[in-house]
Amino acid sequence: MPKDTALRSYPRPPFPRQEQAYPGLAQHMLPVPDHGEKSYVGHGRLAGKKALVTGADSGIGRAVAIAFAREGADVALNYLPEEEDDAREMIAYIEAAGRKAVALAGDLTSESFCMRLVEDAVRELGGLDIIVNNAGRQVYQEDLADISTSQFDDTFKVNVYAPFWIIRAALPHLRPGASLISTASVNAREPSDGLIDYAASKGAIATMTLAIAKNLASKGVRANVVAPGPFWTVLQPSGGQSPERVQHFGEDSPLGRPGQPAEIASIYVLLACDEASYITGSFLPVTGGKIV
């Protein structure tokens, strides 16, 4: 788990004005997010497990992948080809933890790729115990009229269709004790007026995952939802918020700042490990104090 988190002074807004082309790179953010690279200490809670994490090159996915590896899991990383620089860093962190890293770049809007992603992960890892559907598409549009059909379609394909395709393809490989974790958002319950399609998709993935939890409970497969509030990830300056909103991102949370990815990774570790054997069908907000 992260050490001395309560004593660490994380950055607070206002932040420097910054913009990146989608999908962006975490290493170009100011300040650079803390994914637990130096702080996360594992305790063997996922020893021998095999995990697939989408959106694992940066943000919450990166923090989760680092934590999983340091807890003893081998990790298959999915990311877009444009994110190769961040992904190479991730592979080094996983291998430094003594675990196997499998790099699986590709576009989650493709059903055939999602099916191939699962098969490649199973083959390279020798099985699959944990799936974290974390990759997300978020585009800020102040005016509803500016949300194109193609944007709406891409948002739902990444945020809803891809997790469905991945879980469905993984079903033959999942054994009792397997854990499925979806990254939703507080937007599922408290939608932002500038993130209409994103909020709708996050509501859909949350509801779908909770239904899957009921459907797979008799097979011993658990499914849970993590709903982050404002977290300092590259999703924000690469189109997820307006540049002005990025400067003040997280300012309205009770803690007065955005969360760092390292601060949420341990929730995923808990949901993935055998200690959480009675936790399924849960929706867990991590918001910095905001009640949703």
Annotated active-site positions, please? 198
| Residue 224: count of CB within 10 angstroms of its CB | 24
Contact 25, 86 (CB under 8 A): yes
How far is the CA of 184 from the CAs of 116, 189, 198, 201, 282, in angstroms? 24, 10, 10, 8, 12
Helix axes 196-216, 162-170, angle to 10 degrees: 20
Among candidates 82, 16, 75, 14, which has minimal Cα distance to 49?
75
How far is the CA of 6 from the CAs of 3, 85, 171, 202, in angstroms? 8, 31, 40, 30
Is 242 strand, coil or helix? coil
- Locate 7 and state its tokens: 């004593």
Cα–Cα distance, 221 to 193 (Å, whole number): 35
CA-angle at 73, arms to 70 and 75, nearest 5°: 105
Residue 5 buriedness (CB in 10 A; 0-12 / 13-18 / 19+):
middle
Q: What are phi and psi of 101, to 5 degrees?
A: -115, 130
Cα–Cα distance, 202 to 137 (Å, whole number): 10
- Locate 197 and state its tokens: 């399609």
Contact 90, 27 (CB under 8 A): no
Contact 1, 41 (CB under 8 A): yes
What is the rounded radius of gyration, in angstroms, for the C-alpha atoms of the chain? 17
